Amino acid sequence: MKINPCKRAFGVTLLAALCVAQVAHAKIPASVRTMVENIFAPALPHRGLTTAQEPLQPNLLHGAVRLLLGAIPAEKADWYITNTKYDYRPTVIDVATEEQTTRRGHVYTYLDRGQIMIISAVEYSGSTIYLKLLSPDAMQRSGGGEAHPSRLAAMVGFKFSDALLNGPADAVITAMQKWLEPFASIESAFAATMPAKKLPQHPRKK
């Protein structure tokens, strides 16, 4: 039986793509992935995480983070007649050197220290762990003047050495927590950052 060359080429291409995907995922041990997704729990997928045209589903949201170090590049939703797809601008942090790199082009704004963000997804590529982050509400960059404000989106990647990835999983979490403080929910994140209420002081009776 003769095999159509086109079908053979398609099969080889598909096999190569699957092999590349497996290699890209292979550097992150399963124990590390499990711990990351337990501590930085991502939301369950739904359209509200990808497009401004759909609302977020609160019952599908899980973890959140508070930025411990600022100056993380972020973008707003793409604009075409109305706000559309969220642009998760990637920033990769080299854990060993603490250097940040992002894609070329104009940056809409930078996230400030203390900003609370929803964890919309966790992704892996090679030796890098990515957290896709989305602001709970529509925001404007500093100075305002934005005609079409939207939620801000960023994708923060942590690039690890093989030695760190293949060591105790706790070390990976500790490195990530230097930049992002994890919370079990968006509500607990806001509650933890609210100033404590001072109890009224009553004069002592003599």
Question: 70-93, pLDDT tens digit by residue?
Answer: 789 999 988 765 668 999 999 999
Whether the Cβ atoms of residue 158 and residue 98 lie closer than 8 Å to each other: no
pLDDT digits (tens, 9 = 90+) for 12-37: 444 444 344 444 445 899 999 999 99
Q: Which residues pair with 123 in a beta bridge?
A: 130
CB burial of 135-152 (b: ≥16 within 10 Å; e: otherwise) equals: bbeebbeeeeeeeebbbb
The predicted model scores a pTM of 0.80
